[in-house]
Each structure stands twice: as C-alpha cells, then as structure tokens.
C-alpha cells in the first residue's frame, strides 16, 4: 500500500534561469524573480531592490559644500552688520522718545537678533538628520522584517529607510528630508526642521518690527528735512524710500508664504517631498491631519491637545 502511494507521487525537475535569480542586498538570500521584474521585495527581510539603477557620480562635492559654507558665513556676517547698523542708526531717536521706550527697544532687539542668528546658525551648520544604522547583508544577522520597505542607496552604499531621501547637494541621506535650502546651504530634515521653522518665525517678526521702527523714525525725521531740501527729498530720497519699502515688503511676503507653507505641511503630517510623492503616487497611505501634528512637531506633550477645542479633520491619503 505504501509502495503504491509513493509511486503515485509526481516529481518535477526544472532549471532556473540565472537572469531570473538574484541576491537580496538586505539579507543575502537568493531570490527567484518573475520574468522582467525591475523592482522586487524580499519575502524575508522586506528590503526593496530596484534593478534599474541609474547612478550619476557626484563631482566636486567638497567644492559645493565649501561654497555653501562660505555663503552662509558671509550671510551671517551681513545679518550681524544689519542688526548692529540698525541699532546704531536709531538709538538716538528711540531714546529721544522716552528712556523707557529706548530700553524696551534694546531688549526686544537683542532678543530678536539672538533668536534669528542662533536659529539660522543651527539650521545651517547642524546635521539635517542621519538615518539609523542597521545591520544588513547577511541572513543570520538580519531578522524577518528588519528592513521592511528599505531600499539601497547606491550613493551612500548603505540601506535607506522609507523616511529618508538622498540629497545630491549634501551627498548624504537625510531622515525626513523636507527640501534643500540654498540660503542656509543645508538640507531641512528631522534634526534641524524645528530650528528652520523657528528661524522663519523670528525673521518674520524681526522684519515687521524693523519696518515699524524705520517707518516711525522716518516720519519724525523727514518733515524737518523736507523744508530744508525739498527738491532733494522729492527726488532721489523719495525714490530710495519707495525702493526700500518694496524690497522689505517682498522679503516679508516671501518669508510669510514659506512659513505658512511649512506649517500647512506639518499640519497635514508630511514634508514637502512626501507631498510631491503623494501627488505622484495618488496616495496609498492614510494619515490623519490636525493640530496634534503641530504639537508633536514642536515636542509638546500630546496630553495638552485633549484640553483644546477639537480641530481634527477627516483623514487625508498620502504617501509618507
């Protein structure tokens, strides 16, 4: 009876085409792929491999980084020059109004200047965010699902998490990368995103305060000058004032729009790059948006949110 059962079994022998077999970069296991599979996912570790890799060598990366650092340093010195020059230009006027107003002006100016320069420096010179280091490449070391949805960065030659993006300007992978900002010469990521938002807040408030003080001082200074040199003021002086007003307003509008855009992305629980990714993929992941995302971003305890009015909206689909 046992012999008849064994004889009824069918054994199939087939050959495996080497073009359809590959090695998983995450765990080192040999995988059998379907025909013409450019992207595949390992069933053990969860790593994703793309066979269509178009790696472009980044040349003169150190030169670009040096150029960014020099530009940021010059911009920082210029900011300090504007702050010190502005304080020196109006110090006699603010104290002529009242001694209390002069002291208030100096204290507020010192706070805004220190906040703006410090947050700008932290955004520019601090690492934007380094992805966690994981063990990979060997089956005994990599457990099941340890590299779920990880890809391999051929520039950094190491695993790249789903939350990371490689910046070719910085030459490294950045965790929760939002964008590469040329004005700070650095990426905006998980480690310096808060400092970047704080810099935008401080820059907007500083621009508003400087504009107010300058306008207030100008209105009290120009009337006496107008009667002494009316023609000169109505000519180049007025054109200079109008040009300065336009530049200040453009800077204020630009900073305000950028700040509002950043807060909207934080409110929706995503970054600028994830926003672009969600538009390209049509959105495959459901993420709740609301004020709780802003509280989490700034490190506030989530328990505070339950005492505030409910402002939650319906979930919105996007890809993280």
Tens-level pLDDT at each residue, the chain (320 residues)? 444 444 445 544 445 455 567 788 888 887 777 666 677 788 788 888 876 666 555 556 777 788 888 888 888 888 888 888 777 878 888 888 888 888 998 899 999 999 999 999 999 998 898 888 888 877 777 888 888 889 888 888 888 988 899 988 888 899 999 999 988 989 999 999 999 999 999 999 998 988 888 888 877 776 555 444 444 545 565 677 778 778 888 988 999 999 999 999 999 888 888 888 777 555 555 567 788 888 888 887 655 555 555 444 444 444 43
Instruction: Note whether 257 and 151 are same-domain residues.
Output: no
Q: Are residues 111 and 251 in the same domain?
A: yes
Distance in angstroms (rounded) separating the CA atoms of residues 196 and 179: 11
Domain of residue 65: give its range. 61-129+176-223+244-271
Answer yes or no: is 77 within a domain: yes
Domain identity same for 43 and 68: no
H helical segments located in 126-192: none
- Residues 199 and 264 placed together within one structural domain of the fold: yes
My answer on whether 32 and 142 are in the same domain is yes
Tell me whether residue 13 is in a domain.
no
Let me know if residue 193 belongs to a domain.
yes
Q: Is 188 exposed, middle or buried (0-12, 13-18, 19+ CB in 10 A)?
A: buried
* Domain presence at residue 287: no
Distance CA 24, CA 46 (A): 10
Tokens of 63: 């030169």
In this structure, the answer to whether residues 137 and 249 fall within a common structural domain is: no
What's the pLDDT score for residue 303? Answer: 52
pTM for the model stands at 0.79
pLDDT of residue 245: 79
In a domain, 290, yes or no: no
Q: Do residues 25 and 14 make contact, with C-beta atoms less than 8 angstroms apart?
A: no
Strand partners, 160: 151
CA distance 240 to 282: 50
Q: CB of 17 within 8 A of CB of 7? A: no
Q: Is the dihedral of CA 95, 100, 105, 111 positive or negative?
A: positive
Taking the CB of residue 194, how many other CB atoms lie within 10 A of it?
15
Boundary of a domain, candidates 121, 151, 168: 168
- pLDDT value, residue 239: 73
Q: Give yes or no: residues 78 and 145 share one domain.
A: no
- Does 251 lie in the same domain as 193? yes
The two tokens of residue 308 are 């505030």
* Rounded CA separation 265/73 (Å): 29
Q: How many angstroms separate the CA atoms of 95 and 97, rounded?
A: 5
Assess whether 255 and 183 both reside in one domain: yes
Q: How far is the C-alpha of 231 from the C-alpha of 233, rounded, in Å?
A: 6
What number of other Cβ atoms are within 10 A of residue 218's Cβ? 15
How far is CA 46 from each of CA 53, 133, 149, 151, rounded to the nearest angstrom?
19, 17, 6, 9
pLDDT of 238: 65
**pLDDT attached to residue 313:** 43
Q: Do the domain assignments include residue 8?
A: no
Q: Which residues are catalytic?
A: 181
State the pLDDT at residue 30: 78
- For the chain, how many structural domains are there in total? 2
Same domain, 120 and 135: no
Inter-helix orientation angle 61-97/99-125, to 10°: 170
Same domain for 208 and 180: yes
Whether residue 10 is contained in a domain is answered as: no
Shared-domain flag, residues 217 and 103 = yes
**Residue 293 located in a structural domain:** no
Helix (H, G, I), strand (E, B) or coil at 190: coil
Task: Return d(Cα 20, Cα 158) in angstroms, integer.
Answer: 24
Q: What is the pLDDT of residue 37?
A: 64
What is the distance between the alpha carbons of residues 30 and 49, in angstroms, rounded to a whole number?
A: 13
């Amino acid at each position: 009876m046992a012999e008849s059962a064994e004889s009824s079994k069918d054994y199939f022998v087939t050959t495996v085409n080497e073009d359809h077999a590959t090695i998983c970069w995450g765990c080192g296991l040999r995988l059998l792929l379907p025909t013409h599979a450019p992207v595949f996912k390992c069933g053990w570790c969860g790593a994703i491999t793309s066979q269509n890799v178009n790696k472009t060598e980044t040349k003169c990366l150190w030169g670009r980084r040096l150029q960014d650092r020099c530009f940021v340093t010059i911009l920082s010195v210029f900011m300090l020059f504007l702050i010190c020059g502005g304080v020196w230009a109006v110090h006699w006027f603010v104290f002529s109004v009242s001694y209390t107003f002069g002291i208030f002006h100096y204290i507020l100016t010192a706070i805004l200047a220190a906040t703006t320069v410090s947050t700008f420096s932290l955004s520019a010179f601090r690492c934007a965010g380094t992805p966690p280091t994981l063990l990979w490449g060997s089956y005994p070391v990599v457990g099941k699902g340890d590299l779920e949805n990880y890809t391999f960065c051929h520039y950094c030659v190491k695993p790249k998490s789903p939350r990371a993006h490689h910046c070719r300007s910085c030459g490294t992978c950045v965790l929760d990368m939002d964008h590469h900002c040329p004005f700070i010469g650095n990426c905006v990521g998980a480690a310096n995103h808060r400092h970047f938002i704080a810099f935008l807040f401080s820059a907007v408030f500083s621009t508003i305060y400087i504009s107010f003080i300058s306008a207030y001082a100008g209105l009290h200074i120009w009337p006496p000058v107008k009667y002494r040199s009316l023609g000169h003021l109505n000519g180049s002086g007025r054109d200079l004032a109008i040009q300065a007003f336009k530049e200040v307003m453009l800077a204020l509008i630009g900073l305000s729009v950028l700040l509002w855009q950043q807060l909207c992305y934080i409110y929706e629980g995503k970054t600028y790059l994830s926003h672009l990714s969600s538009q390209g993929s049509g959105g495959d992941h459901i993420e709740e948006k609301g004020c709780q995302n802003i509280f989490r971003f700034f490190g506030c305890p989530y328990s505070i949110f339950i005492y505030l009015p409910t402002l939650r909206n319906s979930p919105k689909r996007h890809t993280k």
